[in-house]
Structure 1
């Protein structure tokens, strides 16, 4: 990767980079592309993709709680304090004409 590549990427990204900024970004982009090349070199033949990368570490994976109803329906009580309702819905003043 060269400095003119950084300027081209900045232009495609609608970023305005000065010469000094482009020179500062160049080694960072080179490091990113180097890492991508390393990752592409790994043989992943026969490996199934993971839904989430943390799932292979079962002890770190966040456990999901059981999908159970934990609260009862309070709709009627909540509607009592409303100034206006219609068929179980709150009525509000029209704000857009």
Structure 2
């Protein structure tokens, strides 16, 4: 069971100021969450195979193949602003 003191301690560790009223409320809410997990522990999963993902996916990455890159002119073809062969952007200070 999570107590008000536990909530205050975690708040102190996280450098979050929690007043007493909120600490009581958070403790109650966190205990409700833990009670839901206890209900899940009661479910019979004896004959259920473990799953790591509900959809059977395989690696969708493409093969890493070296190929010729874009030329400088081709890379700058769609930009609205370039200068001396480079992308031109706003000054950021």
Instruction: Give TM-score, length-normalised by structure 2.
Output: 0.52
- Partner in structure 2 of residue 3 of structure 1: 4
What root-mean-square deviation, in Å, do the aligned CA atoms of Structure 1 and Structure 2 show? Answer: 2.7
Q: Distance in 1 between matches of 2:14 and 2:41?
A: 24
Partner of 1:93: 88
Gaps of 5+ in 1: 56-84
**Higher helix residue share:** 1
Structure 1 residue ranges, 4+ long, deviating more than 3 angstroms after superposition: none
Q: May I ask how many residue pairs the two structures share in their alignment?
A: 65
Assess, with a 3 A threshold, how the Cα gap between structure 1 residues 15 and 50 changes in structure 2: closer, same or farther: same
> Could you list the runs of 5+ residues in structure 2 that have no partner in the other structure?
56-70, 77-85
What is the rounded CA distance, in whole Å, between the counterparts of 1:37 and 1:9 in structure 2?
A: 22
